[in-house]
Structure 1
């Protein structure tokens, strides 16, 4: 296995190919890891595909809330497909080399889809805010045109920032080592390999994190503070329970995503360790997407009812 691919240019060593170390430090568990990740990938694909299909087939789920849920499920499929197939390939073939361009492409897609998830979660919280706090205006505010517009903003709003961030990172010189101690091309482990001062790049990471993570998260908190205040004013316990059940699953997903991702990207580079980076990244890139459909379906009575109607129909 080739561990370095470095060319001499102007008396500086510049990496032209990276090596994703991934889980190479666990040689006796390669078969187990491949089987585990393969099963998890299949579960994610099946769960999210099922939500997309059942939402499209059942007229009772043709509502703005489930329109955004379909977008979220498709996003989760794309999100995990940026990293998991590459992990499976590396474990199966033991070929951990990844070209400079492929690494940059993987990072760009991953960051763009992560930004999409952040914005989409904020949009979904706005949908719940309008539905619970302004139910009479809900059909007018969340009309099909507005829902489509919000979905497009979610998918493409973060793209220019993440494309710029990726170009900025991969315009750096990478010298002496090309070994990325991670299972995909993420910002913290790639920046560790850069030569010279990377403080400008780290500052850009914080700025983008504020724009595409902190601001959406604050909007979510604002929406839910008003939602909770409205729910507490409802006259009956049954009404409060019903209202809370429609948004509690979304709140759990928000905590899972923002909690683990913020620790990874807002911590200074010097405090990162390879083990903590991998564990946190596994959580928000694979584990959370696997549980998100379960959270949305098992805690949602309308989705459960739609599943029963579909099963009875077949």
Structure 2
């Protein structure tokens, strides 16, 4: 992977106008922010809802007159996109390895399947900058790079022992920072753009956590607004009756999309359960699944023949399903994961 990282640095150094496609979660956001803040050039485009880069995104290349494409924390790129883009593509990811011709593919799991360093941490290693963003993005994906313990020396107030993902995510200021970043990805395109522009200007975590700068105050204000709704939804999700090993909770499209965030925290509070949370919108349910089991093969079987799509990591998956098909998918998951 060292050789690929050097090639990526060279391409980024030589590019005049890179285009960054990144997943709509804190890992994807932090990966983008680290590269954008370091290289100070290019444009970003968030890939929402599904981790697939398709030819539908090709117009963004012409729109920005890009000369390089950088794909961050996105599990799949369609062949048509690669062929029609006609540009160098750097692909930094940590999902199940899926290298494709025509891309500079950086994924630590190729060398060691157990090395699950997230895209944000890989971008920190590539640039040597923004340690705190690399740490926040990694912890958001329940991965703790061994170097994160260095935060005790650099920003002692951000973390505390034990160094476990549930504790760091839900009992420390670093975890609050993860939630702040995630909640600032909610809302309209224009609102999200304003939030990301503000985060780019933040110099230190305390700019946000202690509102020590105007960009930090802006980001914190949006977090507080969404957090009120989140706490209400979290209470309802935690109060659901369990069905054997499962907690299932579906909420309405009239509320903010908080599925991934809720699934993470409900799972942290109920680590012996399998969590299925979803948001119904326009006849579909966007869902997140968490559990200490191998979810992807069970999800693939559960979706077979149904109108939907999903995938992800071993213990954390997401996707969408036609609302009428959700009961059947849930029934199959129970059968396959029991």
Q: Which has the larger radius of gyration?
A: 1
Determine which structure has the larger strand proportion and give its number.
2
Greater relative contact order (CA < 8 Å, ≥ 6 in sequence): 1
Place the TM-score, normalised by the shorter chain, in its bin.
under 0.3
